[in-house]
Amino acid sequence: MTDLAFGLTMTVIGMGVTLLTLYLLTLVIRLLNRLYPFKEEKKRS
């Protein structure tokens, strides 16, 4: 494998996986926010 092929492989897979992973995390966060929405704590009397 030439250096150019190595660099392009790293760029395409590296950037692609990083982007996909972070996108997956955004979906996970949305799901968590839906499952456990923020509720104001009730004031203790």
Name the one residue in this structure whose structure tokens are 């949305």.
30
- Which pairs count as long-range contacts for 31-37, CB under 8 Å and 24+ apart, including other chains? none
Give the nearest distance from C-beta 45 to other proteins in angstroms. 22
Task: Give the tokens for residue 25.
Answer: 């995390």
Give the nearest distance from C-beta 42 to other proteins in angstroms. 14
Return d(Cα 26, Cα 19) in angstroms, integer.
11
- Residues of this chain that bind other proteins (CB under 8 A): 1, 3-4, 6-11, 13-15, 17-19, 21-26, 28-30, 32-33, 36-39
- Residue 4 or 45 having the CB closest to other proteins: 4
